[in-house]
């Protein structure tokens, strides 16, 4: 089978739920795809998960392209979406098109994700007109977290719920192929899903969306010190890695590693010739 396209994802509206996951490197992409993940987002959350920043704002286009190329080498069928980092599109349509194009031309992606609603609809439309598929993202948009009052659920009061409705409509009109809903009340996410003609992909948005996305490290239990309420860990990779590395450390200290099976031999003749 060939690689999934943005059109394939859009055609899944109302059908079998879409499975999406973030990926930042070759191995996570390869494993996610083998497990059946259909959409891989090279998320700007790499700023926190991989680079150790406190939020997503510091990550650059150049860094995102490194991660994108690694993911593209690891996945052959999943749709790969590059997450447009902070200030890579907000400055205007021209800059947005150039940077979005780099994700396709240099990063091996097939689409990009842009955070925001009505305020970025014109930019989204310009990127789509340039032939670059766009995944929308509304609700809690981490790049605007400070303006939204922090990392909190969006759309709980009437005004903000209406704003999300307008955001969704503006992005659909701009030409998005799917829409991420982050930290939105479940019933509001249901209504948004029923209202828009493109698939919705939830993260902290309840069970009624057309698909779900989580961060790879959260799913496998590799980020144990902080777990948002909406995350369910399906593994405990952090503890297993700690166990393995501690065992390695102990065996090195006790000179049990490497053993004969990990060592290479040399003939006695060579040793004698070297007079060692």
Catalytic (active-site) positions: 182
DSSP class of residue 84 equals: P
- Look up residue 136 and give its two tokens: 């929308």
- Look up residue 69 and give its two tokens: 């190329």
* 176 neighbors 117 (Cβ within 8 angstroms): no
What separation in angstroms does the CA of 165 have from each of 93, 115, 133, 208, 255? 23, 15, 21, 16, 64
Report the candidate in 217, 223, 226, 186 with the shortest Cα–Cα distance to residue 203: 186
d(CA 47, CA 44): 6
Backbone φ and ψ for 40, nearest 5 degrees, come out as: -110, 120
* 142 neighbors 115 (Cβ within 8 angstroms): yes
Residues 6+ apart with CB under 8 A from 107: 42, 64, 65, 68, 69, 72, 82
Q: How many CA atoms lie within 13 A of 26 on its CB side?
A: 3
Q: CA 166, 172, 219 angle in degrees (round to 5)?
A: 95
What separation in angstroms does the CA of 191 have from each of 83, 162, 204, 209, 219? 26, 11, 15, 9, 27
């Amino acid at each position: 089978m060939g690689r999934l396209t943005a059109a394939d994802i859009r055609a899944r509206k109302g059908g079998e739920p879409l499975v999406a996951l973030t990926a930042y490197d070759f191995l996570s992409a390869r494993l996610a795809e083998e497990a059946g993940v259909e959409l891989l987002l090279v998320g700007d959350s790499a700023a926190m998960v991989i680079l150790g920043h406190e939020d997503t704002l510091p990550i650059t286009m150049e860094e995102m392209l490194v991660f994108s190329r690694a993911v593209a080498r690891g996945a052959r069928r999943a749709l790969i979406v590059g997450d447009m980092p902070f200030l890579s599109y907000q400055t205007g349509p021209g800059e947005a098109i150039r940077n979005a194009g780099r994700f396709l031309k240099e990063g091996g992606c097939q689409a990009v994700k842009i955070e925001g609603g009505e305020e970025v609809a014109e930019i989204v439309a310009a990127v789509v007109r340039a032939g670059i598929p766009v995944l929308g993202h509304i609700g809690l948009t981490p790049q605007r977290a400070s303006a939204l009052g922090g990392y909190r659920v969006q759309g709980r009061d009437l005004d903000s719920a209406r704003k999300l409705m307008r955001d969704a409509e503006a992005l659909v009109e701009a030409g998005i192929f799917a829409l991420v809903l982050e930290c939105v009340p479940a019933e509001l996410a249901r209504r948004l899903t029923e209202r828009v003609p493109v698939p919705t992909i939830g993260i902290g948005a309840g069970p009624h969306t057309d698909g779900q996305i989580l961060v790879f490290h959260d799913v496998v239990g590799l980020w144990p010190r902080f777990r948002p309420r909406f995350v369910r860990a399906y593994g405990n990779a952090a503890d297993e890695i700690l166990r393995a590395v501690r065992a390695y450390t102990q065996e090195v200290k006790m000179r049990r590693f490497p053993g004969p099976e990990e060592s290479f031999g040399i003939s006695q003749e060579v040793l004698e010739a070297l007079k060692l």
